[in-house]
Structure formats: structure tokens, C-alpha cells
Amino acid sequence: MKTNQELVGRDFLTIDDFSTEEIEFLLYEAAELKKQKGILDVLKGKVLGMIFEKASTRTRVSFEVAMLKLGGHALFLSAKDIQLARGEPIEDTAEVLSRYVDALMIRTFDHRTIKRFAEAASIPVINGLTDTHHPAQVLADLLTMKEQKGRLKDLKVTYFGDGNNVAHSLIEGASKVGMNLTIACPVGYEPDNQIITNAEQTAKQTGATIQVIHDSIEAAKGAEVLITDVWASMGQEKQQKERINVFAPYQVNEDLCKFASDDYIFMHCLPAHRGEEVTETIIDGPHSVIFQEAENRLHVQKALLKSLLS
């Protein structure tokens, strides 16, 4: 098991940035912190700067509350209200903020933006979401699966929908912990090939399997975990009508779930478009663990911040 000291000062831009042992340590730490009540003073005097180019509910609140619960403080920095909006170079902003705060969490569009921040900053930079990766969400997903199923190794997980940031981070997460992951998506909406190739190399060490198929029923067969996401992410709103038609066969509904394991769980990173990627009978049904999953955002954020900063 990795120790906290081996993570201090690191950036967290993708799941692939951390080893299998480090991911397992973060999940263990999150589970332990979940048991804690009240305020811990492990980050007393520490400040997290949070830059948002995209709207947020769970990311903002979970990171802000996580810092509070650990005795620190968080600053919300809207990209519209800081000098980035007036053309200040990312590198200059990163250099200045490195002298004010102890870490930066950034939720943005282009993944290159957060990479530029990380290269220029002298403090840890955490990815709250980009168009390519959603690593903090997938840490919460892994914690939820482990709580519900008692294991991650050899767990049969199927993701339905767009090969987007959630799919990419799930692919990386599955490869790190030895899961059997299937991505079911329409032709032309597959995950990034390089991310799959990299994950397959990791999977050789952990025994994970990663496959991308286009038959949603075949993908659902025997699955212990069913996951989906919105069909049009932020910035893709103009494609909404087109995507509804393309993705209709990948809706998680009662007919599809009949092919899954009897004790499957349903997960969604939220917000959900009920009646599109998932029906209300499934998302509100007895197999759904979406709110436990959402709560776990807080606990993995606490583990991440404590490990990078304390």
C-alpha cells in the first residue's frame, strides 16, 4: 500500500497519472474518511483555488465541502471574472495563483488548458473535468462499486453511450484495478484510440479487459454494473436532436436491464436527462445507486486533497 507521502505535491489530471497501488490507496483513504464525523484539521491553513469555465453542482460543492471538512478553505474563481477572461496567459495566471493558494482545481473544456496550468504551476493541479477526462468522478465510481459489490477485480461493468470524458476515465480506471469493462456505443462515437491502447497495456499487468462494441444487448449480458451518461455533454447542445436518434438503442431501460445480472447496480455521474439515456423506472428503481455515487464524490475529494496537500 502506498503511503500519503508518495502523493504529496502531485498533479491529478487523469486516472492514468496514478499507479494501481496509488488508486487503491486513495480508495482506502476515502472509505476511512467517509467514517469520520466533524472537522479534521489535517489541512488547517491550506487554500484550494477552484477555476470554473463550465457550470457545476457536484464538483464545486464536493471540493468546497471537502476542504472545509479537512480544516482548509476553498476559493471559487469563475473564469469569466478573473483575468483569464481578458486574455491573460494561462502561464501567468498559474504562476501568480501558485503564490497565493496551495492547490488548484480546474473544470474546463480543452484538456490542453489544464495541462498548461499544471506545467506552469508550482502547486498541485487537480482535474475537476475536461472534455477528455473526468478522473475525480471515476474515483467516486470505483469507490461506489467496491462498496456495493465488495470487489473491483474481475467486476463486469458496462458503459452505454458516448465515448466521452467519463468513458475515457472509466477505461483508465478499469485497467488500473483489473475490471472487465465493455463500452457500448454507436459507430462513430467510440472512445479515443490512444486512451484504449494505453489502457490495454496497463490491463496486461492487472488482468483487466477492455472492449468496445456496438450491440447494446450483447454488452448488457451478465453485467454487474450498468453505467451511462448524457448523450450531449456541455458544449454539444447543438447536436442534441441528432444524438437522441443515434443513441436511442443505447438507452438504459427495463428491456435492456433484463439481460444484466439479477443484482446489477445502475450508476450515472449526473445530471441525468430522464427519459433519454435512462428511463425513470431504472434511475429511480431499486438497482440505482446514483446518490451514493454522488455522495462519494465528497469522500474521494477529501482523500485526494489530503493526500496531495498534507
Q: Which residues are catalytic?
A: 107, 134, 137, 229, 269, 297
Cα 101 from chain centroid? 24
> H helices of 106-192, where?
111-120, 135-149, 165-177
Nearest-Å Rg of the Cα atoms of the chain is: 19
Q: Is 107 annotated as a binding residue?
A: yes
Say if residue 74 carries a ligand binding annotation. Answer: no
Q: Which helix (H) or strand (E) covers residue 242, if one does?
A: helix 240-247
Per DSSP, the three-state class of 220 is helix
Is 251 annotated as ligand-binding? Answer: no
Beta bridge partners of 127: 106
Is 137 annotated in a binding site? The answer is: yes
Which amino acid would we find at residue 168?
A: H
Q: State the distance between the two ends of the chain, measured CA to CA, in whole angstroms.
A: 18
Counting Cβ atoms within 10 Å, is residue 194 exposed (0-12), middle (13-18) or buried (19+)? exposed
Q: Is residue 269 annotated as involved in ligand binding?
A: yes
* Cα(192)–Cα(168) distance, integer angstroms: 7
Closest CA to 177 of 53, 3, 303, 24: 24
Q: What's the rounded Cα separation, in Å, for the pair 35 and 203?
A: 32
Residue 83 marked in a binding site: yes
Asked whether residue 229 is marked as a ligand-binding residue, the answer is yes
SS3 162: coil
Q: Residue for cell digits 489535517?
A: 42
Does residue 93 have a known ligand-binding role? no
CA atoms of 200 and 202, how far apart (whole Å):
5
89 is in an annotated binding site: no
Phi, psi (5° rounding) for residue 36? -75, 140
* Cα–Cα distance measured from residue 302 to residue 30, given in angstroms and rounded to the nearest whole number: 7
56 is in an annotated binding site: yes
58 is in an annotated binding site: yes
CA dist., res. 190 & res. 198, Å (int): 15
Question: Any idea what the Cα angle at residue 163 is, between residues 220 and 229, rounded to 5°?
Answer: 65
Check whether 206 is labelled as a binding-site residue.
Answer: no
234 is in an annotated binding site: yes
- Known binding-site positions for L-ornithine: 165, 229, 233-234
- Known binding-site positions: 56-59, 83, 107, 134-137, 165, 229, 233-234, 269-270, 297
- Known binding-site positions for carbamoyl phosphate: 56-59, 83, 107, 134-137, 269-270, 297
